[in-house]
Each structure stands twice: as structure tokens, then as C-alpha cells.
Amino acid sequence: MDAKLVRGLEQLLGSAGVLAGANDLLLYEYDGSIDEARPDCVVFPRSTQDVVEIVRLANRYDVPIVGRGAGTGLSGGAIARRGGIVIAFSRMKRILEIDTVNQRAVVEPGVVNSDLTRAVEKDGLYFAPDPSSQKACTIGGNVSENSGGPHTLAYGVTSSHVTALQLVLPDARVVRVGSRAIETPGYDLTGLVIGSEGTFALVTEITVKLSRLPEKVGTLLAVFDTVEDATDTVADITSRGITPAACEMLDAWTLRAVEAFVHAGFPLDSAAVLLIEVEGVQEAAEAQSAEIAEVCRLHNAREVRRAADGPERELLWKGRKNAFGAVGRLSPSYYVMDGVIPRTKLTVTLRYIEDVGKRYSLQIGNVFHAGDGNLHPLILFDQRDPAQLDRAIAAAGEIMKFCVDMGGALTGEHGVGMEKSQLMPLMFSEADLDLMRQVRAVFNPEGRLNPDKVLPLVKGCGETRVNVLAVLSSGRP
């Protein structure tokens, strides 16, 4: 990187606001995915105006810009694939306003997800989107990836809880989209930017909806001796018009790994468990809990346990939300996937995943949002072995293709990033992809903002990983 650019950034932000040393940059060459690429420098703005000036400098020296939250993303969205400047928003972490009457808050992008709930829960409010990484991930990152979480089933993903954004465009202009109202006249530019994975603009301020804490929360743990009984239960619950706040599933291998780590009380001899939560006024929550328990027993649940109190409920959820960490104790590396299928296809898809694991000689565990068919297979491998890495990526590609073939999608909440960009043709025609490129070009015509993400690389850009589509076409493991 041009030394003059680094000096200009240091003059703007101070030496403590710029990292350019090789050892410092090591910490920013990865996120929660399996890809890596090192930026040329990392900067830490403290205001929207800082971001504006950083963008102006980047434009002057013609270098790429990548926004970054906490680095907990799972699709390579915050990785500097072409080098350049990573703008880390960790110092823009102020809650600018809390409006309890109108149930709104205005935050900077570096505010940690769970910190916002802690700031408003004394007023009987909370921020509903709850990724498993909510104690670390930032709201800016949630906006970029349109993150979900276990309670997406009832409350929707991040886009359902954001009403306005302040943006810095790639030409350094500052614009606002949306408003505090639930609906804003005109085109839904807020919805367009949410989930664009940092390829349209840099988000510097977010207006979010706050939700009322429910009067009653009931948490059920249903234990099954077969995976089929568990998945049939999920389909039956929703077919009856019952919408729990959350419906999570862990298979036998994963729940044993979790229990050894968290000691949440998961039964080690079961084939699968469902963690189901209901919320609402007390009478409705009680009735819904009873109805769900009845459906579970109709599908041969050998036990339906209800959390007796808050601590027991928190322990069960600790087990679910620490599942990835539990698996990390058992393998040098693991690949967290993210695909969506119709709920009625859960059984056949889990069987297919098991078959893929056997064919590629890889252990695959399953912990996922069963209620909305959002799968998160965990592929264990050793990244130090290139052959194992290639097998893991190829296995993931097969599973993703199967999800699409089942009528599903390539991602439910982790985003496309650089992980699945080359798989996009499985789901979209070339005409679809060209339209997406045209929309992106309206915001980011030079392609300088988070380049080589979301859409497939054009011919000549090169690949950084195994060609998954070629492997799928060849039919070989």
C-alpha cells in the first residue's frame, strides 16, 4: 500500500487508529468462515465524518474498501479479498438515542447486539434479532448480512427490525434511507441495503424497532429416539398453525458434544432433541405449550421436559448457542454451513447429509433452526490438510445443491459473501445475476466497495478455493 495513503489515514485518525504492520493485520485476514485474505491496512473511525474522509482517501489512491463489524460472520463477508482498507467499526459503538415511547433506538454500527437489549430491558423492551453470536456480533454486521437467529421463526430476520439507515456511499456522499415509521413512501431502499453484505454502502447509523418483553416465556425440551420422529414433529406443529417463538433441533452427535461442554441436561442416549420456545400473555403461552407437548408425544417423544425457571431455561439455551464452540473442542477446524429447505424436506435432507459425510469420510453434525428449515450442518476437518479442506468444501457444495434442488435456498442468515458466490448459478439464471450486477452498479459503480463478494467472479478473476461447480458436475467425491 502506498505509504502516502497510510500517512494520510494516520493524520486523519491518529496512529492508534491505523494498523499496517504485518503482525497486526494477521488478526483481520479471517472471520468465522474458512477463507482468508489479508488487508493492506485496518482503520478505526469514530464518526461518520471519519468514514467519509477514509472513503475519499481510498478513492484518491484507487484501493478497495471493506467494512467490518466484529468479524463473527460465517461467509467471508468481512474479508479483504483484494486487499485494500478494512474499516473496522468497533469504535463506533454508541447508542445514540433510546425512544421507549415509540419503541425505537438509534445506534452506531459497532454496538454489540446483546448490549442494546441490556440497555433497554429495564424499560420492558428488547432487540429481537438474536444470532448465536449475539454477545459479540454487532448490529452493523447484522444489517450487512441480514442476520437471523433462533427466534427468527416468530419475529423475522434483521430487516424486520430496522426502519432507517445512514449511509456513506462509495463516492463519499452521506445519505439517509427510511424513517422511524413502520412504512416509508417510495422505494424500500432500507430493505435493499439490508443484506447487501457491504457491497452497496457503509452503514454508519441504524434506527431499529424495539419489542416488548413477553409476559410469559415457556421453554420445552422434547426428546426423540429417531430423527424422523423429531422432524415429523416440526412439520406437524407448523401445519397445525402453531408458530412457536423458536424451534431448534440438535442431532445425537451434536447434542453429546454440547452436553460434554455445557452440561445443559441434554439426554446422551437420544437420537435428537427439539428445543421449543413459546412467548406471549400467560394464558396463551400456557395453552400453546400444552398443545406443542401433545404434538410431540403424538410423534413418539419419549419425554417433553419444561424448563422450571429462568436459570434452567438459560442453561438449555446456553447449550444451543454454544454448540459451535462445543464442536470446536473436538476438531482442529469445522465448517459451519447455512442452507434453507422446506420443513417437509427435513428428514430426506438429513439423510442426504449423513450420506455425504460417509462418502467424503467426514463427520457432520446438525444443529439448526428446524422451525423455518434453516440448516447449519457442521463439517469437521483439519484445515492443515489441503485434501481434507478440499473434501469439506466439495461436501458443502453437494449439500447446498441438494438444498436448492429441494426447493430451498443457499443461505438463510449467514449471507453469500465469498463462500457461496460461485454457487449462485445453482439458484439464479444469468439474467437474474446480470440484473443484480446492474443494481449493485447504481450504488457501487467502480466495484471498489467489498469487491468479489455475493455475485460470481467474472472470467479472469481467478479462484481462491476448489471449483465446487466443477466437482458437482463431475459427480465425483
Query: Where are the domains positioned within the chain?
Result: 3-88, 95-212, 216-324, 331-474
Look at residue 182 in the predicted model and tell me its pLDDT. 85
Closest CA to 140 of 224, 192, 196, 68: 68
Residue with more model confidence, 467 or 394: 394
For residue 223, pLDDT over 80 is answered with yes
Look at residue 449 in the predicted model and tell me its pLDDT. 98
CA distance 164 to 170: 19
The C-alpha cell at 261 is: 461442554
CATH of domain 3-88: 3.30.43.10
CATH 3.40.190.10 fits domain 331-474: no
CA distance 52 to 56: 6
pLDDT tier at 368, thresholds 50, 70, 90: very high
Provide Rg for the chain, Cα atoms.
22
CA distance 416 to 436: 13
Of the CA atoms within 13 Å of residue 383, those in its CB half-sphere come to: 12
CATH topology of domain 216-324: Alpha-Beta Plaits (3.30.70)
Per-residue model confidence as pLDDT tens digits over 107-131:
999 999 999 999 999 999 999 999 9
Residue 441 is inside which H or E element, if any? Answer: helix 430-443
Name residue 218's beta-bridge partners: 278
Q: Which top CATH class is 95-212?
A: alpha beta
Look at residue 458 in the predicted model and tell me its pLDDT. 73
Per-residue model confidence as pLDDT tens digits over 147-159:
999 999 999 999 9
CA distance 336 to 381: 11
Per-residue model confidence as pLDDT tens digits over 68-94:
999 999 999 999 999 999 999 999 999
The C-alpha cell at 9 is: 489515514
Per-residue model confidence as pLDDT tens digits over 6-51:
999 999 999 999 999 999 999 999 999 999 999 999 999 999 999 9
The dihedral through the CA atoms of 447, 20, 70, 463 has a sign that is positive
Burial of 344 (0-12, 13-18, 19+ CB in 10 A): middle
Look at residue 464 in the predicted model and tell me its pLDDT. 44
Of the CA atoms within 13 Å of residue 39, those in its CB half-sphere come to: 30
Residues contacting residue 125 through CB under 8 Å, at least 6 positions apart: 100, 103, 210, 211, 212, 213
**Do the domains 3-88 and 216-324 sit in the same CATH topology, yes or no?**
no
The C-alpha cell at 161 is: 427490525
The C-alpha cell at 187 is: 422505494
pLDDT tier at 470, thresholds 50, 70, 90: low
Q: What percent of the chain has pLDDT over 70?
A: 96
- From residue 51, how far is each of 11, 167, 276 by CA, in Å? 14, 10, 42
One-character DSSP codes across 146-202:
T---TTHHHH--GGGGEEEEEEE-TTS-EEEEE-SSSS-SS--HHHHHTTSTTSS-E
Residue 336 is inside which H or E element, if any? Answer: strand 333-336
